[in-house]
Structure 1
Amino acid sequence: MDLNDKIKQILVDKSISPSHFADEIGVQRSSVSHILAGRNKPSLDIVQKIIRRYPDLGMEWIMDEEDLPNVEPDRSEVNSGNIRQEAFPRQSSTPLDLPEKKKPEPSTVQRNLGAIQIDQISPQTAQKSIERILVFYSDGTFKQYTPQ
């Protein structure tokens, strides 16, 4: 019996609707609907919520799938700690030597911008005068400056 069938069995045994079941375990109703329709398989989060809400069912019954082969690890490997060493290799105690981050060099455009002369004013700009300056602040206020 797979996990989807076990959820269907829970609904039958507890005499509850799928929407009530979803509300009780704290998941979206569409999630339970998709599981019951066979579109999705229950996630680990949903299984944990079922176990928390219905502890009387037992985690073993929910998690045990008869379709899976009964595979047990070799006892000598478990006792010697080889599994842990392979899964979590020891890291060296010396700190890693990370290369220093280099600052990017300015591009050609940025270098050329620095060389532009600001004091060169075109004839059109020289005939214009400033009427007013507005400064807007982040709090929504502003200040207006007018030349005298």
Structure 2
Amino acid sequence: MINTEDFTKRLQQVIDYYGESASSFAEKIGVQRSSISHILSGRNKPSLEFVLKILSAFPEVELYWLLNGKGEFPSTKKAAAQNLSSITSVPSPSPKIEKEIESKINHDKTIERIVIFYSDGSFKNFQN
């Protein structure tokens, strides 16, 4: 069971971190302003759907940290993955770059393919 008082402190920390008002935060996660107000005041407990909406809208928030206070915020792993997935155009690697990569890797191994996955579920496949 989560401690509601501690959860509200962490929720407020998330809202402050992004520089949001309660209203704009509610809009970004797709809930009514009163839902945020009731949770922050301790009147209501957060639902699973509410928590999942936060995680979906703000990828740097880790579930375990939000619920239990253990872990880190903002999540450096998720932030790094988000930055990587924000690359919109990845040029095909040139033969020179491929050879350079191959020379730094074990000589009896060659790169067969490189796959880049994006947060929207799409991917780009580079294959010899």
What band does the TM-score fall into relative to the shorter chain? Answer: 0.3 to 0.5
Q: Provide TM-score, normalisation by structure 2.
A: 0.47
Structure with higher helix content: 2
Q: Provide TM-score, normalisation by structure 1.
A: 0.41
Pick the structure with greater CA Rg. Answer: 1
